[in-house]
Structure 1
Amino acid sequence: MRVLITGLSGFAGKHLIEFLASGGTHEFLGIDLACSAGSLEIGDCKLTEEKADLLDRNKIEKIISEFKPEQIYHLAAQSSVSRSWKDPINTFSTNVFGGINILESAKSSVPDARILVICTAEEYGEIEDGRAIKETDKIHPENPYAISKSAMDFTSMVYHRAYGLNIMVSRSFNHIGPGQSEGFVCSDFARQIALIEAGKQEPEVMVGNLDSGRDFLDVRDVARAYWHIMNKGRAGQVYNVCSGKPVKISRLLEILLSLSRVSGIKVKKDMDKFRPIDIQTVFGDNTRLVSGTGWKAEYSLKRSLKDALDYWRENVEGPSVGKSC
């Protein structure tokens, strides 16, 4: 099986390739701006990495026409909500026009390939009655990132209907777990606590809005969900990838502080961490994913947070508090 993954070096991409490689013999091609070109073996699988900008249509067409993937996982995106407010033009270009280049190239070279386009629960906006969001609910994107992903979501379905491409879309809720970069709430809290434990930050955690509720799912369960959708999902269908229950941001922090090796850590608000518009509560209904593909989550919230904290304990950098470099 020839499998193409965009966004290979990203948070979900790394876990996806690890999961896919454990399940059989495949030939993988990963596209990413952060990749260094080359090949390596992962178990019985061959992985070739190609550095490429999704906005370089000629290069994307060449890669896909030569590799001829049977499956395409399109994960690459500018996925930070806060960054999207600061740079909406780049966010829209990468997430929409970059994605269209993938679909156009697939249409020309591999029209029978199965394609999973990763979109986001941010598209939904806020559901007023606070219920679990279904795929059939109307979308109301309220930030530049969500708007860009809504555009790609609709574009994907148009390409399915107009050209018969075997496209499925995931609307993924919040991922957590080991390996996530800074700029996302769980990873941000875990990194700060790891810095405090290492004596590299004063014993206080800087936070934004702790009152909002989100649907958090371990990234390893997310990777498994993507495989289930790709192999058992129905073309032209949208799937929520979520846990099915909301968790307050304050609860995440509470669990992480309970796992800390340092007691008495203070919590301090940082207004720079607040968004111009913040939705109060968002959580999804995963019935379609579970019943349609047989997927189910395996990781508990506490396990995910512990693994995220352990990751940062091994990867924090910086001078100790009160000491020179």
Structure 2
Amino acid sequence: MEKLVMPFPDPQFWRGRRVLVTGHTGFKGAWLVWWLHRLGAQVSAFALPAEQTPALSDVLEIEKRCHSATIDLADVERVCTFVQAAQPECVFHLAAQALVRPGYRDPVNTFTSNVSGTVHLLEAVRQTNSVKAVVCVTTDKVYENLEQAVYYKETDALGGKDPYSASKAACEMVIRSYRDAFLAPAGVTVASVRAGNVIGGGDWSEDRLIPDAVRAWQADAVLQIRRPDAVRPWQHVLEPLNAYLVLAERMYADGSLAQAWNIGPKKAYSVRDVITLARAEYGSGEVQFGQAESGPHEAGLLMLDAGKIAAALGISPRWTLEETIARTMQWYRDFAAGQSGADLCERDLNAFLSARSDVTKGV
């Protein structure tokens, strides 16, 4: 058996590279721009203002690390003008309404942001000759969920019972249409990436498990868990971001990689598992587990098969769930104690880049 070397972004490729990121005020977007800036890329980015305080984009002073603008994806003229002015070579599309329960509260905005917004971004790309590679971020929730012990592959049927999942499945259709009808013939490679649930320091988003836990425990409140036995493919935020960057590099020269890709761990865990580990790492905190009988529909069982990207690009998880949660809770504890968010992100990234891969050819 041959041990493969886990690929990381190549600083020589990214140094001086013109890159566009949408959604840089979000959790993943802020981490991505920070990493691209660290690699020496020339980053342009647009998004709506951050929805929560604190926000990682403010903590990391992201606007100082890129050419930034406040633009709504619904404004196709401004989107096109910004993209054409930036003349990016690589594009990462992360801007979205990214949560299930807010999708129920405001389905119109969810479909407008996620579906029409993706159309507008890809239309801007179509009108900009500099672009060579586009990575569009959707979600692991794009699949027609059978609520069975099935690890979904990229070839499985798309669907979605809730507005968020359905809007992201529709995004996949938009991405494929623009790729086949316009962008591939023009020499532009476009991939969609379907990542599992992310965990990591600096997420203060509404209605996400770890941020909710941190807020409750810092306030000496009881954490209320609606669906403790829901199963998800949890991973550290650096896992998918690494995959996005490596995929964009490879697509730049290899158009055959313009496909859909799952990114996730080899094993999924329940919400109860995650919270039990998080509480142990935090050192205190009360939890009340609910019965999952009330409220809008949310998937109870979701697992991803990420074997395709492991076989094609050698990308496989570096951190176990235990290490992911340990590092995440340490980030929040240290930030609350006054340490710099940028220093904490640097610490985690350095540890990630030095971690050993468990990818083995032939297994």
Range class of TM-score, shorter chain: 0.7 to 0.9
TM-superposed CA distance for 1:270, in Å, is: 5.8
Q: Do residues 220 (structure 1) and 243 (structure 2) align? A: no
Q: Which residue of structure 2 lines up, in the alignment, with residue 140 of structure 1?
A: 159
> How many angstroms does 1:41 deviate by?
6.0
Q: 1:179: which partner in 2?
A: 202
Counterparts of 1:205 and 1:39 in 2: how far apart (Å)? 31
- Whether 1:17 and 2:33 are equivalent positions in the alignment is yes
- In the alignment, structure 1 segments of 5+ residues that lack a partner are 317-325
Q: How does 1:232-251 map to 2 (within 5 A)?
A: 232-233=250-251, 234-251=256-273
Of residues 250-259 and 110-119 in structure 1, the stretch that sits farther from structure 2 once superposed is 110-119
Distance 1:31 1:92 in 2: 19
Give the distance between the partners of 2:257 and 2:79, measured in 1 at CA.
23
CA contact (8 A) 2:111 2:167 kept: yes
CA contact (8 A) 1:190 1:256 kept: no
1:57 & 1:89 partners in 2: Cα distance?
17
Matched residue pairs, number? 303
The one-letter code sitting in structure 2 at the alignment partner of 1:77 is A
What's the CA shift for 1:139? 1.6
RMSD: 2.5
Task: Point out the more displaced range, 295-304 or 8-17.
Answer: 295-304
Q: 1:143 to 1:80 in 2, by over 3 A?
A: same
Identify if the C-alpha distance between structure 1 residues 64 and 298 changes in structure 2 by more than 3 Å, giving closer, same or farther. same
1-structure distance, mates of 2:160, 2:63: 40
Secondary structure at the counterpart of residue 304 of structure 2: coil
Match of 2:172 in 1: 153
Shift of the 82–41 alpha-carbon distance from structure 1 to 2, 3 Å rule, reads closer
The letter for the 2-side match of 1:307 is R
Q: Structure 1's 144 and 170: CA in aligned 2 closer, same or farther, altered over 3 A?
A: same
SS in 1 for 2:127: helix
Q: 1:187 to 1:20 in 2, by over 3 A?
A: same
Q: For the Cα contact (< 8 Å) 1:19–1:224, is it kept in 2?
A: no
C-alpha separation between the residues in 2 aligned to 1:5 and 1:172?
A: 17
- Residue 64 (structure 1) shift: 1.0
C-alpha distance in structure 1 between counterparts of 2:328 and 2:295, whole Å: 23
* Letter in structure 1 aligned against 2:181: A
User: For residues 194 and 46 of structure 2, what CA distance do their matches in structure 1 show?
Assistant: 21
Stretch deviating more after TM superposition (226-235 or 131-140): 226-235
Deviations 1:287-325 (A, max 9, x none): 111122222322232232233323443567xxxxxxxxx
Query: Within 2, Cα distance between the matches of 1:312 and 1:190?
Result: 8
User: Which of 225, 248, 255 is the aligned partner of 1:207?
Assistant: 225
2:41 corresponds in structure 1 to 26
Contact 1:7-1:13 at 8 Å conserved across structures? yes
Residue number among 302, 315, 321 corresponding to 2:322 in the alignment: 302
> Cα–Cα, structure 1 residues 255 and 274, in superposed 2: closer, same or farther, change >3 Å?
farther
Q: Secondary structure at the match of 1:5?
A: strand
Q: How far apart, CA to CA, are the structure 2 residues paired with 1:272 and 1:19?
A: 38
What residue number does 1:320 align with? none
Shift of 1:227: 0.7
Relative to the length of structure 2, the TM-score reads 0.77
Q: Tell me by how many angstroms 1:275 deviates.
A: 4.3
Please tell me whether the aligned partners of residues 116 and 167 of structure 1 are also in contact (alpha carbons under 8 angstroms). yes
Alignment match, 1:192: 216
CA distance change for structure 1 residues 272 and 209 in 2, over 3 Å: closer, same or farther?
A: closer
Q: Is the 8 A contact 2:192 2:261 kept in 1?
A: yes
The answer to whether the 8 A contact 2:36-2:43 is kept is no
State the shift of 1:151 in Å: 1.0
CA contact (8 A) 1:125 1:279 kept: no
Rate the CA distance shift 1:111–1:272 in 2: closer, same or farther, 3 A. Answer: farther
Q: Give secondary structure in 2 for the equivalent of 1:240.
A: strand
Q: How many Å separate the matches in 2 of 1:136 and 1:110?
A: 31
2:5 corresponding residue in structure 1: none
Q: Does 1:56 align with 2:79?
A: no
Note the C-alpha offset of 1:266. Answer: 3.8
Contact 1:228 1:294 in 2 (8 A): no
Unaligned runs of 5+ in 2: 1-16, 51-56, 337-363
Q: Structure 1's 274 and 19: CA in aligned 2 closer, same or farther, altered over 3 A?
A: farther
Aligned equivalent of 1:120: 139
Which amino acid letter does the alignment assign opposite residue 241 of structure 2?
A
State the identity %: 23
Partners of 2:81 and 2:318 in 1: CA distance: 39
Letter in 2 for 1:176: I
**Residue in 2 that maps onto 1:230:** 248
Distance 1:273 1:27, change over 3 A: farther
The one-letter code matched in structure 2 to 1:212 is A
**2:343 — aligned with what?**
none
Q: Which range moved further: 136-145 or 300-309? A: 300-309
User: Which piece of structure 1 moves more, 59-68 or 305-314?
Assistant: 305-314
**Which sits farther off after the overlay, 238-247 or 307-316?**
307-316
